[in-house]
Amino acid sequence: MTTEPNWAPDIPKPGAPHSGEAWEEIIPLGSRLVPPAFPVACLPIWMRDMIDGVAEETQTAPDIAAAFGLGALSTAAGGKATVRVRGGWHEPLNLFLACVAPPATRKSAVFRAMTAPLYEAEEALAVAGRAKTRQAELLRLQLEEADKQARTRAVRSGSASDLAEAESTALALAEISIPHEVQLIAKNVTPEECSTILSEQDGRLAILSAEGDIFDIICGRYSNGVPTLTPFLEAHAGDVLKVNRRGRAEYVKSPALTIAVCIQPAVLTVIAEKPRLRGQGLLARFLYALPPDTVGYRKSSPALVPDGVRETYTDTLQAIVLSLAEWDQPQILSLSSAADQLVTAFQDEIEPKLRAGIGELDSLRDWAGKLVGACVRIAGLLHLALHADDGFRKPVTEDIMRDAIEIARYYIAHAAACFGVMVEGPHTQLARDALNWITKNDKVAQNRTFSQRDLHRRLQSKAKDAATVSAVLSLLDTHGYIRPLPQPERDSRGGRTPSPRFSVNPVLFEER
C-alpha cells in the first residue's frame, strides 16, 4: 500500500546551497509532495506485524497505524520514565503526533484497531483503582472518628499526652488522599480541563483521536479565537505546570502529555493562519506524517489482520501499560556508550543544517531544533516496548538508537511536506506572481539569478513583510523552480548586508 515517492530526504531541501548540482524535475505549484513511507521495520516485531496487518485490512498507508502505534507506546510510558542523555539533559517519553489524512481514508478504523488495547488496560487500572479508593475512604472515616475522639479527650483533660495524640491524629487525617478515577485517555479537552486531569492523574494523560478537533480547541474555540497554549507546551516538555484558579490551585511537577491525532489537510491551512501556534513553539513539538492517499486504489476484499497478530499486539501492549503503571516514581533510562555516540553524531549532523540562510533545515529550524530530543524519546519508547519489566536496569542499545534515528529522518521529510502545505495555502498565488516576474524579467533571464531584495521590490504591494517573501522563496525552492546560491560575504569595510541570491531552473527559459 505504498506509492513511489517523488520527494525524499536526500533531495535538497529549502535553503540548501546546492548550485553545483543537477536540477531536479519541477513539481508544479499546488502539487502534493509525497514523502517516503514509514520505516516499519524499525519497530518491535509485535507492533510491526500489527501495523502491516491493519494497513492491509483497511487499505491505508502504514504511516497512520504507525503514528497511533507510537502514540500507544507514549500513552503507556509517558510520565513513567525519562532518558538521561548527558549531564542535565533528560528527555521524557511522551510524544505529540499528527497524521494528515483526507476524509474517507478509514482512519477511524485504524485508530480503533491500534488503540483498543489501551482502553481495555485503562478499564483494568480503573477497576483496581476503585478498590484503592474504597480503602482510602474507609481509612479516612476511621481517622475522622479517631480525630474527633482525640480532640474531645485533649479538650477535657488538657494533658500533654492527649494533646500530642490529637495532633498526631489530625496530621494523619490531613495526609489522607482519595485517589481519582484512573484516566489514561481523553479525546478532546480544553486547556483548563487538560491541566485539571494532569493534576489528578499524577501528570499523565493522552489525547487520542481519529479527528483533529483538539487543534480547533487549541486555536481558541472556547477562548474567543485566542490560542491557549501553556498547558500543552509545558506538558510536552515536562516543565512544572502551575495553575491558580478561584478556590483551586493545581500543581504538576513533571507533566507528561501525549497527543496522537489524525487531521485533515485543510486543518494545516487553518493552523498556518494562527502564527502564534508556531511562534510560541507548539507546532515545533509535533511529529508530522503525510501518508499517500490510497482512496481509488483500494482492494475490495483485502486480507484481514490474523487473529494471532491481533492477540499478540493486544496482550503485549496491555502488559506494557499495566507493568509501567506499577512504577510509583519515574525511572531513569540510560544510553549505552555506542548509543550515546550515535546521538552525538546525529546532533552534529543536524546542527549545521539549522544555520540561518544557508542550512538545509533553516525553514524548519524551530521544528528541527527539537528533533534530536524527539529521537531520544522514540528510542526510549522502543526500549521499553522490548523491556517493560526491567528496562530501567538495561541501557538503550546501539541498534535501538539506530532505529530511532531512521524514524527521525522519516519525520524530517514529512515535516518539510506538512510545513510546505501550511505555507502553500496563503502563498501559492504570490509564488505564481513571483514566477511570472522571474520568467519575464530580461535581467534575470540573462543572468539566471536574482536577489531576495529584487523579488521583494516586485512583490512589495502584495507581500506584507520580508518573512512573506522568504516563505515564497522557500515554496519555489521546494518545488524545484529556484535554489539558493552561497551567501555572499559582507564587505570588510562594512555597509549593507548582501541580499541572498538564487539561481533559476533553466527549464523556465526554454520557451522564452
pLDDT for res 480: 86
pLDDT for res 16: 42
Name which of 163, 170, 120 is nearest 140 in CA terms: 170
7 domain-assigned: no
Q: Is 90 left (phi over 0), alpha (psi -120 to 50) or beta?
A: beta
pLDDT for res 33: 62
pLDDT for res 84: 96
Domain containing residue 250: 40-119+193-207+226-291+307-422
Write down the pTM of the prediction. Answer: 0.77
135 domain-assigned: no
Cell numbers that stand for 52 in this block? 502491516
22 domain-assigned: no
Cell 531541501 -> residue: 13
Q: Are 392 and 332 within 8 A, CB to CB?
A: yes
pLDDT for res 239: 86
169 domain-assigned: no
pLDDT for res 18: 47
Could you please report the per-residue DSSP string of 441-466? Answer: -HHHHHHSEEEHHHHHHHHTTT--SH
314 domain-assigned: yes
Q: How many domains does the chain have?
A: 1
391 domain-assigned: yes
> Which CATH number goes with the domain that contains 102?
3.40.50
Cell numbers that stand for 348 in this block? 552534529
DSSP 98: E
Name which of 258, 279, 281, 278 is nearest 268 in CA terms: 278
DSSP 181: P
221 domain-assigned: no
Sign of the alpha-carbon dihedral angle for 420, 423, 428, 433: negative
pLDDT in tens, 47-88: 999 999 999 999 999 999 999 999 999 999 999 999 999 999
pLDDT for res 298: 94
53 domain-assigned: yes
Q: Give the number of C-alpha atoms closer than 13 A to the C-alpha of residue 477, restricted to the C-beta side.
A: 31
Distant-in-sequence, close-in-space partners of 102: CB < 8 Å, separation ≥ 6? 264, 265, 293, 295
pLDDT for res 206: 95
pLDDT along the chain (512 residues), means of 10: 36 42 77 80 98 98 97 96 94 96 92 97 89 78 83 85 84 78 89 88 93 82 69 89 69 90 85 78 93 92 97 97 90 96 96 84 90 98 95 95 97 87 70 90 90 89 80 84 81 71 89 58
pLDDT for res 117: 97
- φ and ψ of 281, to 5 deg: 95, 5
pLDDT for res 502: 92
Q: At what angle do helices 371-386 and 307-325 cross, to 10 degrees?
A: 100
